[in-house]
Amino acid sequence: MPPMECPGCGAPMTAHTFEAKLGRQVSIDLCLECQLFWFDRGESLQLSPASTLKLFRIIGDHGAKGRPPAPGEVLCPRCRGRLGLAHDRQRNTRFQYWRCPAGHGRLTSFFDFLREKDFIRPLSREQVEALRRSVDSVNCSNCGAPVDLARGSACGHCGSPLSMLDLEQTGRLVAQLREADRADKTVNPALPLELARARREVETAFASFQNEPEWTLDVGAGLSALARWLGKSVR
C-alpha cells in the first residue's frame, strides 16, 4: 500500500505500528513537518499506555522546532472528503481536530494530542495576570505566533489559549501510564516496588527543572527534556 499523503502538505506520511489495548496493534500515520497525526476511526482511544508514552516521546523529539501554520481546507486521505473542524473537551481542557464526514478518521496536531491526553492545559486567569506583570507578549505553543497579552490570552492567529506544560501533572500522568501498562500485561508480585521506582524516576527527571516553577510556558523545551528521559525508559 502506498504511503498516505499528508492532508496538510501533501507529502508522504510515515506509518508507525503501536500496541493497542487487548493485545491488538494499530498503524498511525504522522507528518513530522506539519506535526500532525492521522488516526483511523477510534485509534486514538485504542492506544495502550505504553504507546501513548511513545507518541509523547515523538512529540518531544520533534515538536520544539518551528511550527508550520495550521492547515486551512484539508481533505480526508481515505475518501478525499473535506475534513470538518471539531471541538472536544478533556476534563477542563479544550482540544480540536479535523474529522472525516464519512467517519474514516481524524487529523490531530501534536499540540492537540497533548491536550487530549491531558499533558498540557490552559493557564488559569491568575497565571495569565501574573504573566502580564512580567512580559508584554509570548509565543503561542501551538503555532508559534506572538500573543499580545495586553489584548487577550489567546493566539490571534490560531485561536489557541495560552497553555503550559504542568510538570507536576505530567509526572503523575507518566507514572499512571506506566502503571496501567504494567497492569494490562501481567500481574507482577513486585509491582508495588516497581511503581515506587517509576515514581522516583519521574521525580529525578523533573529535578532538572529545580530552578523553574511547577509549570512552564516553553512547552517545546519541557517536552524535549521529558522525551530524553522517556527515551531511556520507554521501548
pLDDT digits over 62-107, tens only?
A: 765 545 555 568 899 999 999 999 999 877 788 889 999 999 999 9
Cell of residue 140, nine digits = 503561542
At 34 the pLDDT is 87
3-state helix, strand, coil in the chain (%, to 5): 40, 25, 35
Q: Is 182 part of a structural domain of the chain?
A: yes
Range of the structural domain that residue 51 is part of: 14-119
Mean pLDDT calculated for residue range 159-166: 75
**201 or 2, higher pLDDT:** 2
CB-based contact 77:85 (threshold 8 Å): no
Residue type, 109: S
CB-based contact 147:137 (threshold 8 Å): yes
Q: How many domains does the chain have?
A: 3
- Tell me, rounded to whole angstroms, the distance of Cα 178 from its chain centroid: 17
Q: Is 7 part of a structural domain of the chain?
A: no
Judge if 48 and 108 occupy the same domain: yes
Predicted TM-score (pTM) of the model is 0.72
Q: Is 4 part of a structural domain of the chain?
A: no
Judge if 49 and 140 occupy the same domain: no
* pLDDT at 140 exceeding the cut of 50: yes
Q: Is 145 part of a structural domain of the chain?
A: yes
Judge if 68 and 149 occupy the same domain: no
* pLDDT at 147 exceeding the cut of 80: yes
Mean pLDDT calculated for residue range 178-188: 59
Residue 22, classed as helix, strand or coil, is helix
CB atoms within 10 A of CB 116: 19
Judge if 21 and 115 occupy the same domain: yes
CB-based contact 143:79 (threshold 8 Å): no
Q: Is 6 part of a structural domain of the chain?
A: no
For residues 39 and 105, give the distance between their C-alpha atoms in angstroms, rounded to a whole number.
6
Per-residue confidence band for 210, with pLDDT thresholds at 50, 70 and 90? very low
Q: Is 89 part of a structural domain of the chain?
A: yes
Q: Where are the alpha helices (DSSP H) in the chain?
A: 43-46, 49-62, 110-116, 125-132, 167-185, 191-206, 219-233
For residues 178 and 54, give the distance between their C-alpha atoms in angstroms, rounded to a whole number.
11
At 12 the pLDDT is 95
Least confident among 14-28, 63-77, 120-134: 63-77
Question: Residue 42: which residues within 8 A CB-CB, separation 6 or more?
Answer: none
Q: Which residue has the cell 492567529?
A: 157
Judge if 103 and 41 occupy the same domain: yes
Judge if 47 and 115 occupy the same domain: yes
Among 124-133, 206-215, 220-229, which range has the highest average pLDDT?
Answer: 124-133
Q: Is 180 part of a structural domain of the chain?
A: yes
At 209 the pLDDT is 43
